[in-house]
A = this chain, B = another copy of it.
Amino acid sequence: MSSADTDATRRVTIRDIADATGVAPSTVSRALSLPDRVNRATQQRIQDAARELGYVPNQQARALTSGRTRAVAVLVSDITNPFYFDVIRGTQHQLSAAGWTQLLVDTEESADAETAALGAIATKADGVVLTASRLSDAQIARFAERTPLVVVNRRPPGVPSVLIDTPGGVEQAVQHLVSLGHRDVLYVAGPDSSWSNERRWRALVRVAKRLGVRVARIGPHAPFVDSGAAAADAAVHAGATACIAFNDLIAIGMLARLRERGVRVPEDMSVVGCDDIFGADFCNPPLTTMTSPIERAGRVAIRMLLGRLGALPGDELPTDGPGDHPAEAVALPTHLTVRESTGPAPTARRPS
């Protein structure tokens, strides 16, 4: 039908639509971007023509004048980490629902790469979601002044952030362990540079004190499955009988090493992870862990960002209340998912 005269080799521009409808390009632009400022009739005519001709707006050009790119950059520190899979999934969903584009950037755990990316991105994206930043609060805050920014799992003063309430999860985890008769718990720390790591440790210390549980700490450990082996060895050496790992990756790695060494989980040692990433439910044994709404964190981050950019579709992106914008820092609750890696404390048995 309409294919013969449509498959020109050149892309359709507003000029083509203007010619086709007999109006000026500027009117076409308006009809497409600010439909209210145009006569209903011509508006209709223009939109029809646009559809007819298969018009696709050129975001580059649009960005050049308006300064808005309709893209957001999502920075992750290690694309390898399954934790981010879920974040990315969340951001991607929310973004595409709003018709926006996601720029994915892997900063590879490097503050320099992060800074560089942030600098280079300013022109390509309208906003940034920063996860597990290696930058200082001050640096983040300073950058946030120039570019709309939402951070995940970090709390720089004055910068909107999405937090996953792992401290709350830690509390549940300790209580669970206590209910199983444990009186000592070992924290298997993640990287020193991780904000969440310190946060979890402090939460652990606090709860432990309240519940009269003794705590110890080993680490730091890189957040990889492979780090679990060393962590497991250290835990065994420390005579631990229950441990809470910085994240599921380390915990899963520990599980493997413990089995290898003949340390039974949970009979000899209870292990709890954190995050409930892909795999936590089918490792051996399935991991008791703090289930975090990671994907939701990604979605919420985008929602906050889009809200600040004034780009909320409104219909389908409910905010947390009747207020204008979502709160400046939202904390998403975590809950403990008990699986088979935790069990009763071994009675009166402590390796020397």
The answer to whether B282 and A252 have CB atoms under 8 Å apart is: yes
Quickly give the copy total for this chain: 2
Contact of A124 with B101 at beta-carbon distance under 8 Å, contacts A279-B278, A284-B282, A284-B284 already known: yes
Q: Does chain B have a CB within 8 A of A79?
A: yes
User: Min CB distance, A76 to chain B, in Å?
Assistant: 9
The answer to whether A60 and B106 have CB atoms under 8 Å apart is: no
Per-position contact with B for A242-257: 1 when CB-CB < 8 Å, else 0? 0000000000100110
A233 and B92 CA atoms in complex are apart in Å by: 35
Per-position contact with B for A50-78: 1 when CB-CB < 8 Å, else 0? 00001010111101100001000000000
The one of B92, B96, B279 in contact with A279, judged by C-beta atoms closer than 8 angstroms, is B279
The answer to whether A103 and B103 have CB atoms under 8 Å apart is: yes
The one of B80, B85, B123, B256 in contact with A60, judged by C-beta atoms closer than 8 angstroms, is B123
Q: Does chain B have a CB within 8 A of A264?
A: no
The answer to whether B104 and A88 have CB atoms under 8 Å apart is: yes
The answer to whether A89 and B79 have CB atoms under 8 Å apart is: yes
Measured CB to CB, the nearest residue on chain B to A252 is B282
Q: Which chain B residues border A180 with CB–CB below 8 Å? A: none
Q: Does chain B have a CB within 8 A of A102?
A: yes
The answer to whether B102 and A104 have CB atoms under 8 Å apart is: yes
Contact of A225 with B282 at beta-carbon distance under 8 Å, contacts A61-B64, A64-B64, A102-B103 already known: yes
The answer to whether B60 and A124 have CB atoms under 8 Å apart is: yes
- Centre residue among A93, A103, A279, A285 by max chain B CB count within 10 A: A279
Measured CB to CB, the nearest residue on chain B to A119 is B56
User: Min CB distance, A256 to chain B, in Å?
Assistant: 6
A residues 130-182 near B (Cβ < 8 Å) are: none
